Amino acid sequence: MGVVIESDDIVLRERDGVTELIVNGVFAMDSTEVSSELALADAAGAARRVLVGGLGLGYTATRLLANGAETVRVVELSASLVDAARGGATDQLGRLASDPRVELVVGDVADFTGTWDAILLDVDNGPTFLIHDANAKLYRAAFLRRCLASLTPSGRLVVWCEARSPELAATLAELAGHVETIVVPVTRGERTFDYVLYRAAAPTHRT
């Protein structure tokens, strides 16, 4: 096993050809199973300007570019992870950091500004299993309402969760009028489970 980056908040390491990301002492993701990260990007549709909360190992942003996105702003809480990307810690992160279509920003996605064709939130494991307690606000009505109001008329808000969250689904449905649940089956070894994406469109009538 080789440690690529180790800081107070993240560990990025290689093990048997697999890249692992540990955040705040909790396993976040690895490179063996990334179907939900790709599905998150695909759920944005034909978006040209996309705001992504959470860098991870860069699979979502890379897929967005492959799907035709022209501007991808990735807001990542960990300065160490952004530094790792800019330093080329992995080939994929290095390519993202040097791509002129990509803007890597260190900060809290709750502070974002601008108008977007899609907003993708993958900053934590979802409201039922938080890595950072402060991220709870990202799954509440006030922030989700602001996200929806920042979308272009055909825009989409998509939230990644490690498990179903009926409360989050109900909140999005109330704010947007409808929420779509996208289930992504995942197999790790002998274990099979579902990750969940919640997708809501920009409200037709805004106040």
Provide long-range contacts, Cβ within 8 A and 24+ apart, for 7-11.
Answer: 7/78, 7/80, 8/80, 9/78, 9/80, 10/78, 10/80, 10/81, 10/84
Q: What is the pLDDT along the chain (207 residues), one digit of tens a residue?
A: 455 778 878 898 888 888 999 888 888 888 999 999 999 999 999 999 999 999 999 999 999 999 999 999 999 999 999 999 999 999 999 999 999 999 999 999 999 989 999 999 999 888 888 877 888 999 999 999 999 999 999 999 999 999 999 999 999 999 999 999 999 999 877 888 899 999 999 887 554
> What residues does each domain of the chain span?
32-201
Supply the pLDDT for residue 205. 52
Pick the CATH number of 32-201 from 3.40.50.360, 1.10.3720.10, 3.40.50.150, 3.90.1150.10: 3.40.50.150
Stated pTM of the model: 0.93
- Residue 51 CA to its chain's centroid (Å): 9
Supply the pLDDT for residue 95. 96
CA atoms within 13 A on the CB side of 8: 3
> What's the CA gap between 113 and 3, in Å, rounded?
35
Give the residue from 85, 153, 143 showing the smallest Cα distance to 118.
153
Give the helix/strand (H/E) hosting 50.
strand 49-53
> What's the CA gap between 108 and 92, in Å, rounded?
23
Alpha-carbon Rg of the chain, whole angstroms? 16
